[in-house]
């Protein structure tokens, strides 16, 4: 019982036989003999062993200590891997969506410039004597003025966004 518990506790504490031997001022072979059940520590060394491993003597002598199961660690590792893959896919979907939006914004700005360039400003030829026509012409002129000033900033921002969200290989 002591040999099994000693080995399990030592491993859960992350100590090698050599490290434990140094802490107890014994040789590594002594630890190996204890763990193989070929010898047992005397009372003084048993107390020192209890202190070094921060474990009660009763646990060293009698209670069964379960080693962490490799299957449980492997299962946890697989679950973490699945989560990491899900997060990576989610991040990739967001990147693709943002990239597509940036490209669409670039295309929209260029298209709007093309339309304004070919159509011109037809409201400039309107008769502004009618109040409704004057309001409509002024509103169209204001929208065109805002677009012409904001579009370059939007285009540059969208182009930078498209560049930054591209797939890197």
Q: Give 32-52 as a DSSP string.
A: HHHHHTS----HHHHHHHHHH
Mean pLDDT, rounded, of the chain: 88
Dihedral (C-alpha) 46, 47, 48, 49: value to the nearest 10 degrees?
Answer: 50
What pLDDT does residue 94 have? 95
Cα 135 from Cα 146, distance rounded (Å) = 16
What pLDDT does residue 70 have? 66
Domain ranges of the chain: 2-61, 86-164
Q: What is the pLDDT of residues 53-77, one digit of tens each?
A: 888 888 888 765 555 566 777 888 8
- Give helix 17-24 / helix 28-36 axis angle, nearest 10°: 110
Checking if the pLDDT of 1 tops 80, the result is no
What pLDDT does residue 157 have? 95
CATH topology of domain 2-61: 434 Repressor (Amino-terminal Domain) (1.10.260)
Express as a percent the part of the chain with pLDDT over 90.
46
Question: Is the pTM of the predicted complex or chain greater than 0.75?
Answer: no
Residue 169 banded pLDDT, cuts 50, 70, 90: low
Q: What is the pLDDT of residues 116-167, one digit of tens each?
A: 889 888 888 888 888 989 999 999 999 999 999 999 999 999 999 999 999 8
Q: Which region among 33-42, 62-71, 88-97 has the lowest average model confidence (pLDDT)? A: 62-71
What pLDDT does residue 56 have? 86
Q: Pick 108 or 46 by higher pLDDT.
A: 108
Q: Tokens 């579009």 belong to which residue?
A: 151
Q: How far is CA 141 from CA 70, 108, 116, 134, in A?
A: 73, 20, 12, 10
What pLDDT does residue 103 have? 96
């Amino acid at each position: 019982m002591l040999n099994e518990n000693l080995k399990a506790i030592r491993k859960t504490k992350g100590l090698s036989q050599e490290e434990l031997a140094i802490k107890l001022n014994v040789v590594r072979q002594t630890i190996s003999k204890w763990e193989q059940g070929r010898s047992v520590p005397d009372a003084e060394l048993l107390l020192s062993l209890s202190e070094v491993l921060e474990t009660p003597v009763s646990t060293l002598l009698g209670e069964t200590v379960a080693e962490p199961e490799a299957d449980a660690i492997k299962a946890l590792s697989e679950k973490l891997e699945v989560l990491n893959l899900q997060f990576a896919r989610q991040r990739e979907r967001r990147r693709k969506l943002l990239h597509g939006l940036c490209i669409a914004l670039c295309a929209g700005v260029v298209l709007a410039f093309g339309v304004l360039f070919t159509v011109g400003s037809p409201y400039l030829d309107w008769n502004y004597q009618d109040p409704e026509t004057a309001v409509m012409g002024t509103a169209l002129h204001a929208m065109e003025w805002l677009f012409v000033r904001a579009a370059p900033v939007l285009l540059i921002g969208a182009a930078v966004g498209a560049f930054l969200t591209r797939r890197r290989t």
